[in-house]
């Protein structure tokens, strides 16, 4: 069977305004030479730290079929003045040729999980015709890369968009041009660059600026910033759907019961249907994410029943709620991996879920929360109450940012404060025992994923001491 290529050399040249050195066709796109596979297009970009042109040879050794470059190379290529601008142009061309429905997702917390859940929900009813951004490719490079990878026959595209400065999301949403735009939640993430949560809400609401005519805005009804989001949505959206737990939300959870597996059984009402479904991932925040997913599925005319089945089967994501059972001396311990990112809202949500775990001890390994500006000390110290309210028995605090929390805990909850992840690893390896539930959460820059990997490696090697 002859497969339709993702891009031909002629299409790439037309989209970017570049000049082709030779005919070729590609099946994928990458800008990191380490991720290049057979048949890929390698986009050689110049950055502050390195120059992708140095890795063109490596990319072709790994099977690249062509490249976008801003200087001629001895391989099939498209020569352009600026490779980064060319990637953006290729992404825009991909969006133009796609005739399906596009959903954009942003928010301070929950956007990656919601994006993944949306992909699974739509793919369940429309297999192999749903495309989404991978990993957390949600910035000025990741978004055009994700767009450029979208097959021309795609029925649904789901794209995550992030920002840490005003105006960034406006630029991204005009590339994605969503039919449906979701804001998951507003929290003081990146508040160092905004000053107030209200300013963060205004920046997140930029996602509505790119909505296609007749588009739908989906906003969190229970957010204290719902009025700000709604006012922006009214200027750009033909339809607005709110989701939440409170009466008045368009998509609302009428009843939530914890399932035996740790997730939630939810009865929800939507504008055109009622549905009872299971959310496999544990936590109230996942119920909220699921409501946003259902709102989007209904907005694009998707299959709600299939979406409900997908939500029941969705596994935890590495760094975002993945659960691992670790063998330890005398039994097992539960590891909850939330190591990818953290802000005060997501910290409180995951600590609440930790408090619900049936465990001999509840241990929280918490890393510093970054980009909180002059509110950092107060916001870190403020985690003392959620730790106490949710029955945490022992805490390991990682990094200098956690000093205010260590001071706030004082002689209350037993805790250790260590300078970095390297010091936390042997501490938890010595401390954990059978029956523990261990939450690991912190900003990505703290590197707590290395702690998770160390515990997983030790489990595979059989080292349970």
Could you write out the DSSP letters of every residue in 273-335? EEEEEEE-S-SHHHHHHHHHHHHHHHHTT--HHHHHHHHHHPPPBTTBBEEEEEEETTEEEEE
- The band of 462, judged by pLDDT with boundaries at 50, 70 and 90, is low
| Six token digits for residue 283 | 């936590």
Instruction: Calculate the alpha carbon distances from 242 to 27, 166, 204, 214, 230 in Å.
Output: 39, 24, 15, 17, 9
Residue 464 has pLDDT above 70, yes or no: no
Q: Among the listed ranges 86-95, 183-192, 301-310, 430-439, which one has the minimum average pLDDT value?
A: 183-192
Query: Is 263 in the same domain as 377?
Result: no
In degrees and rounded to multiples of 5, residue 131 shows phi and psi of: -120, 145
Does 299 map to a domain? Answer: yes
Mean pLDDT of 17-43: 96
Query: Is 185 in the same domain as 248?
Result: yes
- The band of 48, judged by pLDDT with boundaries at 50, 70 and 90, is confident
CATH code at 425? 3.90.190.20
Q: How far apart are CA 112 and CA 115, in angstroms?
A: 5
Tell me the per-residue pLDDT of 387-410, one tens digit each, with 9 for 90 and over.
999 999 999 999 999 999 999 999
Query: Is 303 in the same domain as 432?
Result: no
Q: How far apart are CA 403 and CA 380, in angstroms?
A: 8
Tell me the per-residue pLDDT of 257-308, one tens digit each, with 9 for 90 and over.
988 777 899 999 999 999 999 999 888 889 999 999 999 999 999 999 999 9
Task: Check residue 385 and give its pLDDT.
Answer: 96
Query: Is 142 in the same domain as 272?
Result: yes
Query: Is 137 in the same domain as 17?
Result: no
3-class DSSP assignment, residue 214: coil
- The band of 463, judged by pLDDT with boundaries at 50, 70 and 90, is low
Choose one of 313, 342, 372: the last residue of a domain: 313
Q: How far apart are CA 187 and CA 345, in angstroms?
A: 6
- The band of 194, judged by pLDDT with boundaries at 50, 70 and 90, is confident
Query: Is 334 in the same domain as 403?
Result: yes
Residue 1 has pLDDT above 50, yes or no: no
Task: Check residue 2 and give its pLDDT.
Answer: 43
Tell me the per-residue pLDDT of 134-190, one tens digit each, with 9 for 90 and over.
877 889 999 999 999 999 999 999 999 998 888 999 999 999 999 999 999 998 877
Query: Is 41 in the same domain as 175?
Result: no
For the whole model, what pTM was predicted? 0.84
Mean residue pLDDT of the chain comes to 94
Reported as type and span, the H/E element at residue 87 is helix 83-97
Q: What percent of the chain has pLDDT over 90?
A: 83
Domain that holds residue 55: 7-84
Mean pLDDT of 184-207: 89
How many angstroms from the chain centroid is the CA of residue 281? 15
- Pairing label, strands 264-270, 361-367: unpaired
Query: Is 209 in the same domain as 296?
Result: yes
Choose one of 313, 333, 364: the last residue of a domain: 313
Does 293 map to a domain? Answer: yes
Tell me the per-residue pLDDT of 338-356, one tens digit each, with 9 for 90 and over.
998 898 988 999 999 999 9
Query: Is 268 in the same domain as 337?
Result: no
| Six token digits for residue 354 | 């930790």
Residue 119 has pLDDT above 60, yes or no: yes
Instruction: Give the length of the chain.
Output: 465
Specify the number of domains making up the chain.
3
Mean pLDDT of 87-111: 96
Does 60 map to a domain? Answer: yes
Query: Is 278 in the same domain as 343?
Result: no
- Pairing label, strands 264-270, 273-279: antiparallel
Task: Check residue 164 and give its pLDDT.
Answer: 82
């Amino acid at each position: 069977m002859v497969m339709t290529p993702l891009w031909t050399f002629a299409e790439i040249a037309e989209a970017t305004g570049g000049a082709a050195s030779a005919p070729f066709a590609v099946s994928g796109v990458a800008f990191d030479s380490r991720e290049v596979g057979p048949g890929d297009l390698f986009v050689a970009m110049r950055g502050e730290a390195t120059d992708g042109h140095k890795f063109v040879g490596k990319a072709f050794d790994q099977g690249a079929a062509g490249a976008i470059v801003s200087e001629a190379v001895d391989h099939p290529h498209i020569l352009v003045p600026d490779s980064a601008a060319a990637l953006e142009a290729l992404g825009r061309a991909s969006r133009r040729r796609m005739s399906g429905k596009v959903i954009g997702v942003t928010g301070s917390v929950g956007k990656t999980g919601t994006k993944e859940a949306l992909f699974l929900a739509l793919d369940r009813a429309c297999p192999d015709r749903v495309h989404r951004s991978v990993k957390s490719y949600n910035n000025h490079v990741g978004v055009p890369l994700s767009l450029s990878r979208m097959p021309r026959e795609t029925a649904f595209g789901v794209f995550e968009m992030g920002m840490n400065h005003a105006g960034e999301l406006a630029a991204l949403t005009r590339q994605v041009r969503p039919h449906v735009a979701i804001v998951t939640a507003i929290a003081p993430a990146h508040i160092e660059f905004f000053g107030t949560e209200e300013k963060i809400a205004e920046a997140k609401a930029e996602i509505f600026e790119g909505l296609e005519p007749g588009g739908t805005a989906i906003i969190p009804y229970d957010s204290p910033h719902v009025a700000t989001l709604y006012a922006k949505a009214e200027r750009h959206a033909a339809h607005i759907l709110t989701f939440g737990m409170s009466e008045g939300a368009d998509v609302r959870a009428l009843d939530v019961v914890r399932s035996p597996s740790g997730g939630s059984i939810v009865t929800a009402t939507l504008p055109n249907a009622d549905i009872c479904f299971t959310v496999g991932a544990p936590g109230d925040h996942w119920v909220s994410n699921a409501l946003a997913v259902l709102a989007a599925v209904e907005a694009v005319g998707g299959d709600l029943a299939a979406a409900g089945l997908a939500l029941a089967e969705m596994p935890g994501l590495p760094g975002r709620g993945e659960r691992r059972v670790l063998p330890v001396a005398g039994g097992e311990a539960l590891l909850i991996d939330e190591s990818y990112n953290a802000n005060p809202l997501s910290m409180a949500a995951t600590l609440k879920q930790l408090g619900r775990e049936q465990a001999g001890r509840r241990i929280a390994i918490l890393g510093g929360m970054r980009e909180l500006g002059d509110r950092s000390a107060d916001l870190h110290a403020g985690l003392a109450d959620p730790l106490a309210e949710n029955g945490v028995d022992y805490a390991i605090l990682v990094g200098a940012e956690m000093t205010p929390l260590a001071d706030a805990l004082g002689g209350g909850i037993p805790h250790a404060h260590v300078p970095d992840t390297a010091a936390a690893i042997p501490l938890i390896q010595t401390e954990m025992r059978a029956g523990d539930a261990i939450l690991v959460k912190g900003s990505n820059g703290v590197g707590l994923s290395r702690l998770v990997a160390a515990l997983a490696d030790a489990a595979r090697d059989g080292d349970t001491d």
